[in-house]
Amino acid sequence: MQTKVDAVGRITGQWGKWQLRTVLLIFLCKIPSSWFMACIIFTAPAPRHGEFFCKPPNTVGAQNQTQWIKVSHPQKEETEDQEFNIDFCNVYQDAQEHAHHYYNYEHSEQEPRIWEKPLNRNSNVIPCTEFQHQSSYHSVVTQYDLVCSRDILVSVTQFFHLFGVLTGGILANQLLKYFSPRNVMLFGMITQIFCGNLTGHVASYELHVFFRCLSAVCCAQMYTAGGMIMADITGGKYRTCVSTLFEQFWSIGVMMLPGVASFWSSWSHLYMAISWPTVILIYLWQWIPDSPRWLIARGRVQDAKKILLQCADVNGTRYSLPHDIDQQLELQAQTAMDAPPPSGWWSMWKGERAVRHIICVHLAWSLYIVVYYGMLLNIRSFSREHLYINTFFAGLSEMIGTFIGLFLIMKTTRKWLWTGLFNMVAGCIAYCGWLVPKPGVIPFDANVALLMCSAMVSKMAISTTLSILTTCTVELVSDDKKKITSFSTICWARFWLLGAPFIGSTIFLGQLVPQTAFASLAICGGICTSLISSPRTHPISRPASPTAQGAQNMASASQFTIIDGMDNKGYTPSSKPIISSNKIRKLTTPQSNLPPQLMPGIWTTKINEDGPPM
């Protein structure tokens, strides 16, 4: 019987010290990636009332900023508290003329009192075009005047970052056809340092968004290539855990970001602080191996063999290697190169309940990833004074959600239904933010805490679903369709992710409007995931009897070693039975190229004819 050859998997095993070291090093790539995504929380905080005003003309000799503000800026009535506040975004059309009336005196004592209104004042107002800032923190907002009508440009900067994530993932998949994952990772690390530093030091807004987009492209290359290496060297339940927990280091990065930002009083310095730590990753890169499967698929068998021998040395399995390892690797390389082309996009729509599953999983990806990032960035609306602690708890809620998702994957059969119901309930809790009393009724800190609780429950539920989507989407299709399905869902999701910053910008309609929109999307996503069904990720295996275990080991040995095209002569059953009840016989020939019998936890390469029965 001709079977699929997987010499790499049999040599590396599902898990070991070598895999643990590699996985932890790749996990670290998620930390700078999360910093670049979430740094907008600290590089562009919402300005406080009075931190900016319309810049007076140079011809006006105004020395007192307060007097200039009273002369030039109109007052507006707030609908919520019916109080009058200064409108810093607009100025009186004749402000310059009346400023001359107030300030064009040789001596300050000759100036009229500020509360005296000028005669025949024109009440027409016009938008201010240039602002003067007096904030203690030098931010993107103060650098590029991103206030009033230009406030939408804060969302545009985040749009270009997310556009870089989309294009970076597509570019990484194309580069991985010609360059090894390890080299793609290194290229992403080096260019990320370069582009990240330039992002914080360019003079114009246009160059800032350009380099921010390039920085996101570099980050996407790092973790896309790293994810490929991890998937190739792990197996079974360990691969599931690695794929799910990969997002944990993203959350760890979010939790670390407030501490990093607290050391700097300028957004330019913060970009340097999140760019240069990647130098440490470049140093650690020497211990990250390349993907042996990628090398074998390109015919580089000897390069793959070096990596596999290193794996065996670290894991302590060097003496368990088959003596015909070169032949098996050559056969796997030939099989990979002779394999048919991968399945196309239309193929994933064919199969039992395929249309329903593919539609629902695409909708779920697009809805949840928008809410996932949008809810994180929306904490800017919950008070600037609590920005650091709120960001920390947002990352913590993501971590808890990921662990809940891993539990549902490993321990439940109806994981899609449970995560859908979780998001529906959490979305309703997010609606309860409208019931939180105003700061005048309860203390301001209590108001912020209750709003954060209503939002973070939904954040936790969304993280739970994303961990399931990341790990279990490919369960909905056959093995030959997994690659195209994963690529399709991620690209689809990242395309819709581009709109997340603009949903957050609806805060001008009300503080809780963005949260309400995200909660509605989460409930819709919960309905979609509830319509998905797939088998248990890791079925519960019943313990086998010793006799059945021995028969299973013999069958496994035959399945993996009797392959068309290999020298199997000399495979003759002995007349002496090993286990008489099942008529299981051992291989008897010293010239055999086959691995010996597989016993639980034992794989040797020599057979002792005179040894005791197994």
CATH of the domain at 496: 1.20.1250.20
Residue 264 falls in which region: left (phi positive, over 0), alpha (psi -120 to 50) or beta: beta
| Angstrom distance (rounded) from CA 41 to CA 438 | 24
Are both 454 and 530 inside the same structural domain? yes
Tokens of 415: 């994981």
Q: Under the phi-then-psi rule, with left for phi > 0, alpha for psi from -120 to 50, and beta for the rest, what region is 47?
A: beta
Residue 437 lies inside a defined structural domain of this protein: yes
Mean pLDDT of the chain: 81
Rounded Cα distance between 35 and 466, Å, is 19
Amino acid letter, 569: K
**pLDDT in the model for residue 365:** 94
Is residue 251 over pLDDT 50?
A: yes
Q: Are residues 272 and 175 in the same domain?
A: yes
Residue 569 has pLDDT above 80, yes or no: no
3-class SS of residue 86: strand
Cα 72 from Cα 84, distance rounded (Å): 16
Instruction: Flag whether 246 is in a domain.
Output: yes
| Residue 279 belongs to a domain | yes
Residue 555 has pLDDT above 90, yes or no: no
**For the chain, how big is the Rg over CA atoms in Å?**
31
Q: Quick one: pLDDT at residue 347?
A: 87
Q: Domain boundary residue among 303, 318, 339?
A: 339
Return d(Cα 606, Cα 614) in angstroms, integer. 14
| 299 CB-near residues (< 8 Å, 6+ apart) | 333, 337
In percent, the amount of the chain with pLDDT more than 90 equals: 46
> Is residue 201, in this structure, part of any structural domain at all?
yes
60 and 37 part of one domain: no
Residue located via tokens 């939790």: 255
Q: Which residues does 326 contact at the CB level (< 8 Å), separation at least 6? A: 301, 305
Whether 382 and 408 map to the same domain: the answer is yes
Q: Is the pLDDT of residue 79 over 70?
A: no
My answer on whether 417 and 523 are in the same domain is yes
One DSSP character per residue, 175-243 reads: HTTTS-HHHHHHHHHHHHHHHHHHHTT-SSHHHHHHHHHHHHHHHHHHHHHHHHHHHHH--HHHHHHHH
Give the CA distances from residue 253 to residues 158, 266, 274, 548, in Å, rounded to whole numbers and listed in that order: 18, 20, 10, 48
Question: Tokens standing for 178?
Answer: 């010609």
Domain endpoint, select from 513, 535, 557: 535
| Same domain? 42 vs 73 | no
Map residue 478 onto helix, strand or coil.
Answer: coil
Whether residue 324 is predicted with pLDDT greater than 50 in this model: the reply is yes
> 138: exposed, middle or buried (C-beta count within 10 Å: 0-12, 13-18, 19+)?
middle
Please tell me whether residues 79 and 18 are part of one structural domain: no
Average the pLDDT over 295-307 and give the result. 90
Give the 3-state secondary structure of residue 54.
Answer: strand
Q: Does the pLDDT of residue 77 top 90, yes or no?
A: no
> What was the pLDDT predicted at 160?
94
Question: Residue 379 and residue 393: Cα distance in Å, rounded?
Answer: 10
Look at residue 40 and tell me whether its pLDDT is greater than 70: yes
Residue 199 placed within a domain = yes
Interatomic CA distance for residues 541 and 383, integer angstroms: 51
Task: Give yes or no: residues 191 and 234 share one domain.
Answer: yes
Tokens of 2: 């001709």
Distances (CA, A) of 305 to 26, 228, 293, 327, 557: 22, 19, 10, 11, 22
Least confident of 105-109, 453-457, 463-467: 105-109
Q: Is the dihedral of CA 572, 577, 582, 583 positive or negative?
A: positive
Q: Give me 191's structure tokens.
A: 């260019």
Residue 359's pLDDT is 94
- Helix (H, G, I), strand (E, B), or coil: what is residue 573? strand
Instruction: Report helix, strand or coil for 138.
Output: strand
Residue 584 lies in a domain: no
The residue among 488, 518, 535 that closes a domain is: 535
Q: Is residue 612 domain-resident?
A: no
Does residue 425 sit in the same domain as residue 526?
yes
d(CA 486, CA 497): 16
CA distance 57 to 52: 15
Q: Which of 83-87, 199-203, 301-305, 536-540 has the weakest average pLDDT?
A: 83-87
Query: Phi and psi (nearest 5°) for 493?
Result: -65, -45
**Which residues, at least 6 apart from 14, have a Cβ–Cβ distance to it below 8 Å?**
234, 235, 236, 237, 238, 239
CA distances from 433 to 389, 424, 454, 521 (A): 19, 15, 6, 16
Q: What per-residue confidence (pLDDT) applies to 323?
A: 82
What pLDDT, in 10s, does the model give residues 433-461?
999 998 888 998 899 999 999 999 999 99
Domain count for the chain? 3
Q: Does residue 544 carry a pLDDT above 70?
A: no
Element containing residue 542 per DSSP (H, E) = none
- Give the pLDDT band (50/70/90) at residue 172: very high
Residue 416 lies in a domain: yes
Residue scoring higher pLDDT (143 or 609): 143
- Does the pLDDT at position 577 exceed 50? no
The pLDDT of residue 476 is above 70: yes
205 and 312 housed in the same domain: yes
d(CA 419, CA 421): 5
Shared domain for 34 and 75, answered yes or no, is no
Task: Name the helix (H) or strand (E) containing 445.
Answer: helix 444-472
Compute how many other C-beta atoms are within 10 angstroms of the C-beta atom of residue 30.
22
Helices (H) and strands (E) in the chain, counts: 25, 6
475-499 per-residue burial string, b: 16 or more CB within 10 A, e: under 16: bbbeeebbebbeebbbebbbebbbe
- 247 and 282 together in one domain: yes
Q: How far apart are CA 418 and CA 404, in angstroms?
A: 11
Query: One-letter amino acid identity for 483?
Result: K
Dihedral sign (CA 227, 233, 236, 237) = negative
Distance separating alpha carbons of residues 483 and 505, to the nearest angstrom: 35
Report which secondary-structure segment, H or E, holds 606.
Answer: none
Domain that holds residue 86: 52-106+116-133
